[in-house]
C-alpha cells in the first residue's frame, strides 16, 4: 500500500528525539488513522481501540529516544501497536462485545462494493449493517494472530514482507497464516451464504 | 451456490475500511493525547520527572558519541604512564661535564695550557673563535684528543652553567 521505501519520517523522528513535541504531534496526526484501523479491526470495539491507540502513542513517545532507525518508523510504530493489541486481547480473553463504527456512506460508490452487490447474492440481499456484523463475527472467530495477519493484508493492504517484519516471523509463516485464516473465513461466511438475512 | 472464494473474501474485508470513527474523532484525538500526557506527568513522582529531564538533556548532548571519551582518556593516561616509566628507566645519556667542575684529568692539561698561555689574537665578531690560533702544540694536542675521544668513548658535551633560557631577561 503506501508503506514508504525509505524512512520519510526520519526528519520528524529526529526532531521528536531531540524533544520537539510538535514533531511527535505530526507523527501522531499522520499515523493515528492507519493505526486506528489496525487496532479496531483486531479488537472490533471502538472504546478499546481508542484507549489502545492512546497507549500506543504514549509508549512510542516514551520510547522514541531509544529508536535507532534499524527499521522504518512505520514498521516500528506498527510493531508497537500490534504487540500491545495482541497482549490486550490475551488479557481480555473472550469477554468482549462488538462496538462497531458506522460504515461510511461513501462505500456505496466503492467499485468493489458495487461489484459484490451485483454478483454475489448473499451480499446483495443483506443490508450493510448485517454484512458488517457478519464480517466482524467471522473475524472474531479467528485467533488473534490470524486476525492480525488478515487485518494487515486484506484490510490495510500491507505486503507479506512488511507483515513479517512487524510480527517478527518469516514470510512463509505469514502466507501460511493467511491461507489458514482465509479457509476459516470461508467456512464462517458459508453460513452467511446459506442464510443471508440471518 | 458457490462459497466465497479468496478473491471475494479479500474484497469483503477491504470494505471494512469504510468503518470509520465518528466525525472529528482524529481532530480530538491529539487533544486527548496531550491531556493524558499531562495527567501522566502529574502522577509521576518528582524524581522521575527530573530524571527524564536529565536523561533528555544528556541525549541532546549526543551521549552515545561521548561514550568513547573514557576510552580515549584511559589511552592517553596509559601512554603518559608508559612514557614516564621509559624516561625514569632509560640509561643515562651522554656524559655531560659542567664547565666549572668535574673536569676529567685528560682535559686538565689542555685547560691549564689555555689559561697559562694568553691568546694572542683578540676575539671579535669578525673573527670567531674557531679561527683563533691556539698555537701549533695546543692545536695538535686538542685535535688528537678529540680524535681519540671519537673512537674510544661516547662524545662528551660541555654545557654552560645556565641554559640560555634561564638567563635573566633584559630590563629596559
| More confident position, B28 or B103 | B28
Closest CA to A168 of A71, A41, A79: A79
Q: Which residues of A touch B35 (CB under 8 A)?
A: none
Instruction: Please indicate whether, in this complex, the C-beta atoms of B14 and A150 are within 8 angstroms of each other.
Output: no
Contact predicate B137/B117, CB 8 Å? no
Residue B16 Cα, gap to closest chain A Cα (Å): 7
**Average of per-residue pLDDT values in chain A:** 86
Closest CA to A123 of A193, A42, A19, A54: A193
Average pLDDT rounded to a whole number, residues B133-138: 55
The predicted pLDDT at position A166 comes to: 96
Give the model's confidence band at A79: pLDDT under 50 very low, under 70 low, under 90 confident, else very high: very high
Instruction: Please indicate whether, in this complex, the C-beta atoms of B3 and A135 are within 8 angstroms of each other.
Output: no
The predicted pLDDT at position B14 comes to: 87
Contact predicate A90/A97, CB 8 Å? no
Instruction: Please indicate whether, in this complex, the C-beta atoms of A135 and B11 are within 8 angstroms of each other.
Output: no
Instruction: Please indicate whether, in this complex, the C-beta atoms of B26 and A123 are within 8 angstroms of each other.
Output: no
Closest CA to A81 of A120, A46, A32, A119: A32
Residue B75 Cα, gap to closest chain A Cα (Å): 29
Q: B residues 28-87 near A, CB within 8 Å? A: 29-30, 32-33, 36-37, 40, 55-56, 59-60
| More confident position, A64 or B151 | A64
Instruction: Please indicate whether, in this complex, the C-beta atoms of B3 and A193 are within 8 angstroms of each other.
Output: yes
Measure the CA–CA gap between B33 and A31, rounded to whole angstroms. 13
What does the pLDDT look like over A127-167, one tens digit per residue? 667 777 888 888 889 999 999 999 999 999 999 999 999 99
| More confident position, B1 or A181 | A181
What does the pLDDT look like over B74-111, one tens digit per residue? 888 888 888 888 877 766 545 444 445 555 565 666 55
Closest CA to A17 of B36, B53, B38, B59: B59
Q: SS3 for A31?
A: helix
Q: Which residues of A touch B37 (CB under 8 A)?
A: 58, 61
- In chain A, what percentage of residues exceed pLDDT 90? 60
The predicted pLDDT at position A146 comes to: 96
Instruction: Please indicate whether, in this complex, the C-beta atoms of A189 and B59 are within 8 angstroms of each other.
Output: no
Closest CA to A188 of A148, A133, A113, A119: A133
Instruction: Please indicate whether, in this complex, the C-beta atoms of B40 and A103 are within 8 angstroms of each other.
Output: no
Instruction: Please indicate whether, in this complex, the C-beta atoms of B9 and A182 are within 8 angstroms of each other.
Output: yes
Residue B31 pLDDT greater than 80, yes or no: yes
Measure the CA–CA gap between B20 and B5, rounded to whole angstroms. 26
Query: pTM value?
Result: 0.62
Residue B45 Cα, gap to closest chain A Cα (Å): 16
All three cell numbers of B19, joined, read: 468503518
Residue A5 pLDDT greater than 60, yes or no: no
Q: Domains along chain A?
A: 8-100 (1.10.1740.10), 102-198 (1.10.10.10)
Instruction: Please indicate whether, in this complex, the C-beta atoms of B59 and A65 are within 8 angstroms of each other.
Output: yes
Q: Which residues of A touch B59 (CB under 8 A)?
A: 17-18, 65
DSSP 8-state class, residue A100: P
CA dihedral angle for residue A40, residue A42, residue A47, residue A51, rounded to 10 degrees: -90
Task: Count contacts between A and B (CB, < 8 Å).
Answer: 113
Measure the CA–CA gap between A195 and A121, rounded to whole angstroms. 11
Closest CA to B18 of A106, A139, A137, A33: A106
> DSSP assignment of A19-32, as one string?
T-HHHHHHHHHHHH
Choose the closest CB to A107 out of B15, B33, B36.
B15
Residue A86 pLDDT greater than 90, yes or no: yes
Instruction: Please indicate whether, in this complex, the C-beta atoms of B9 and A154 are within 8 angstroms of each other.
Output: yes
Residues B138, B142, B147, B153: is their CA dihedral positive or negative? positive
DSSP 8-state class, residue B23: T
Q: Which residues of A touch B36 (CB under 8 A)?
A: 54, 58
Average pLDDT rounded to a whole number, residues A60-77: 94
Choose the closest CB to A33 out of B8, B18, B26.
B26
The predicted pLDDT at position B98 comes to: 46
Q: Which residues of B touch A77 (CB under 8 A)?
A: none
Measure the CA–CA gap between B3 and B61, rounded to whole angstroms. 62
| More confident position, A36 or B54 | A36
Measure the CA–CA gap between A134 and B15, rounded to whole angstroms. 13
Amino acid at each position: 500500500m503506501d508503506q514508504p521505501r525509505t524512512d520519510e519520517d526520519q526528519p520528524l523522528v529526529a526532531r521528536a528525539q531531540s524533544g520537539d513535541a510538535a514533531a511527535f504531534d505530526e507523527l501522531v496526526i499522520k499515523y493515528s488513522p492507519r493505526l486506528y484501523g489496525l487496532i479496531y479491526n483486531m479488537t472490533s470495539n471502538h472504546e478499546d481501540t481508542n484507549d489502545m491507540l492512546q497507549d500506543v502513542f504514549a509508549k512510542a513517545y516514551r520510547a522514541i529516544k531509544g529508536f535507532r532507525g534499524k527499521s522504518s518508523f512505520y514498521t516500528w510504530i506498527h510493531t508497537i501497536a500490534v504487540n500491545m493489541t495482541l497482549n490486550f486481547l490475551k488479557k481480555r480473553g473472550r469477554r468482549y462485545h462488538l462496538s462497531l463504527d458506522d460504515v461510511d456512506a461513501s462505500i456505496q460508490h466503492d467499485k468493489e462494493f458495487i461489484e459484490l452487490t451485483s454478483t454475489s447474492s448473499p451480499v446483495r440481499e443483506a443490508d450493510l449493517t448485517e454484512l458488517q456484523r457478519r464480517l466482524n463475527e467471522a473475524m472474531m472467530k479467528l485467533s488473534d494472530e490470524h486476525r492480525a495477519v488478515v487485518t494487515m493484508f486484506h484490510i490495510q493492504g500491507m505486503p507479506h514482507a512488511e507483515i513479517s517484519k512487524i510480527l517478527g516471523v518469516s514470510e512463509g509463516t505469514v502466507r501460511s497464516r493467511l491461507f489458514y485464516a482465509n479457509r476459516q473465513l470461508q467456512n464462517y461466511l458459508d453460513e452467511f451464504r446459506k442464510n443471508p438475512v440471518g | 451456490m458457490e462459497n466465497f472464494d479468496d478473491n471475494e473474501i479479500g474484497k469483503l474485508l477491504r470494505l471494512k475500511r469504510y468503518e470509520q470513527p465518528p466525525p472529528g474523532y482524529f481532530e480530538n484525538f491529539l487533544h486527548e493525547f496531550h491531556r493524558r500526557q499531562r495527567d501522566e506527568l502529574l502522577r509521576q513522582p518528582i524524581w522521575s520527572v527530573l530524571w527524564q529531564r536529565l536523561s533528555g538533556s544528556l541525549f541532546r548532548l549526543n551521549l552515545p558519541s561521548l561514550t568513547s571519551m573514557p576510552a580515549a582518556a584511559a589511552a592517553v593516561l596509559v601512554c603518559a604512564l608508559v612514557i614516564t616509566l621509559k624516561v625514569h628507566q632509560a640509561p643515562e645519556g651522554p656524559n655531560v661535564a659542567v664547565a666549572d667542575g668535574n673536569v676529567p684529568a685528560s682535559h686538565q692539561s689542555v685547560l691549564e695550557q689555555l689559561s697559562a698561555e694568553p691568546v694572542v689574537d683578540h676575539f671579535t665578531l669578525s673573527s670567531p673563535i674557531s679561527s683563533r690560533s691556539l698555537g701549533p702544540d695546543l692545536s695538535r694536542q686538542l685535535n688528537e684528543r678529540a680524535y681519540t675521544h671519537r673512537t674510544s668513548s661516547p662524545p662528551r658535551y660541555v654545557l654552560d652553567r645556565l641554559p640560555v633560557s634561564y638567563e635573566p631577561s633584559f630590563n629596559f
